[in-house]
Amino acid sequence: MSATKEKEQQTDKPRRRSRAERSEETRQALFQAAAEMVGEHGYAEASISRITARAKVAQGTFYNYFDSRQDLFDQLLPALGDKMLAYIRSRMGEATGPEREERRIRAYFDFLRDYPEFYRILYEAETLAPKAHRQHIDAIAGGYARALSRSWERGEMPGYEKRELEVVAFMLLAARGYLSMRYGFSGDRPGAMPDWVIEAYMKFVRHGLYHVQAPDSNRCK
């Protein structure tokens, strides 16, 4: 066999994963299993034995990654929050102003549909994983306020003071939370958000936040 042919065959062999890569895969499998179990049964019923069985790892392996079940729960929501932010950022593109906000809320509702366990994890965490809940809210609201600040600096939000942007961020987060609760479920699972609901939200954003002038036909007489 020629040296060139032998080198080609060696190149075709799958690369062996490093110990660090295998360790991270196990950690992510435990996160995913915990998310699914909490989403299906709630925090109270998501035992270590159920989580490790779902992740297909030995129960003792759990303690190589987390000190306790609560330690896992304290990390679960922030980890999912990071995934949510990455998901939303991937949909934003170069949009600015109201279009950017529309992409943001549509991406959030799509994330709920793709990760239905997130909703239950978020709302049960307030009482059962309060440390995780505070960390998640601080990260999400802080990031949202910074995004609004960039819009404000571009002159897209006339009429608002910079100190008010955090208030606006919490208002918008509350809106999407309650809209998903009222309109975003089909049975007990997140479904497609009706377009008319998003359009109603966007009327508020365009005219109340970005001060886009309404068409003559929509003005009050």
- CATH number for 200: 1.10.357.10
d(CA 57, CA 29): 9
- Quote the CA–CA distance of 81 and 91 in Å, as a whole number: 16
| pLDDT for the residue 47 | 96
Q: Quick check: helix, strand or coil at residue 190?
A: strand
Is 34 within a domain? yes
Q: State the DSSP string of 3-55.
A: HHHHHHHHHHSPPPPPHHHHHHHHHHHHHHHHHHHHHHH-GGG--HHHHHHHH
Residue 85 shares a structural domain with residue 47: no
Give the chain's residues under pLDDT 50: 217-221
44 in any annotated domain: yes
Give the per-residue pLDDT at 190: 80
pLDDT at 83: 94
Model pLDDT for residues 98-144, shown as the tens digit of each residue: 999 999 999 999 999 999 999 999 999 999 999 999 999 999 999 99
pLDDT at 69: 95
- Do 111 and 170 fall into the same domain? yes
Quote the domain boundaries for residue 130. Answer: 70-212
Q: Do both 74 and 177 map to the same domain?
A: yes
Global pTM reads 0.82
**DSSP labels for 49-117?**
HHHHHHHTS-GGGGGGT-SSHHHHHHHHHHHHHHHHHHHHHHHHTT--HHHHHHHHHHHHHHHHHH-TH
Distance, in Å, from the CA atom of 124 to the CA atom of 126, rounded to the nearest integer, reads: 5
What is the pLDDT at residue 220?
42
Q: What is the pLDDT at residue 73? A: 96
Q: What is the pLDDT of residue 217?
A: 45
CATH of the domain at 58: 1.10.10.60
Residue 220: inside a domain: no
Is residue 86, in this structure, part of any structural domain at all?
Answer: yes
